Amino acid sequence: MKPILDEIDNKILALLMDNARMPVTAIAKSVGIARTTVIARINALEKRKVIAGYGLKLNQTMYQPAVRAYVGLSIEARSVSHLIKVLQQLPEVESLCAVSGAIDYMLTLRCASTEVLDKLLDQIGSLEGVRQTSTSIILSKRIDRSSI
């Protein structure tokens, strides 16, 4: 069951998604409620697990691996759990999503160079259960809402 959020909760969440370190006083001023009310609402959102945690978002112009890529994977169904375990061990794997359509999974890789990417793709393609891979190198991000 999805938690019910009102307009104030949504405003607080939007501000925190833009800057998780935004001072409570600034949030209160922006939303137009008391500082203690903001604290209580944030605590309630955390308790209800609407806010699952806080993280670090790197400035991609200051820190960015040389190559990022999307890799579509077509796999044999019996190999899913084994493949997930193997992929979890690879530090270059940024995300793995089950998807619908012609491919079964979409993998996001983060590599130091095209040479590293090439070797990694060979390694992934040779894993038992992988039928086919399809790779697209990411040239740039035009919209980034990854903190959501």
Could you report the average pLDDT of every consecutive run of 10 residues in the chain (148 residues)?
Answer: 84 90 96 96 94 78 77 94 94 94 94 93 95 94 72
Considering the domain delimited by 7-47, tell me its CATH architecture.
Orthogonal Bundle (1.10)
Structure confidence at residue 63 (pLDDT): 64
pLDDT at 64: 62
Look at the domain 67-137 and name its fold.
Alpha-Beta Plaits (3.30.70)
Longest Cα–Cα distance in the chain: 58
**Where in the sequence of the chain do the CATH 1.10.10.10 domains occur?**
7-47
Q: Strand 67-75 vs strand 130-137: parallel, antiparallel, or unpaired?
A: antiparallel
pLDDT of residue 95: 93
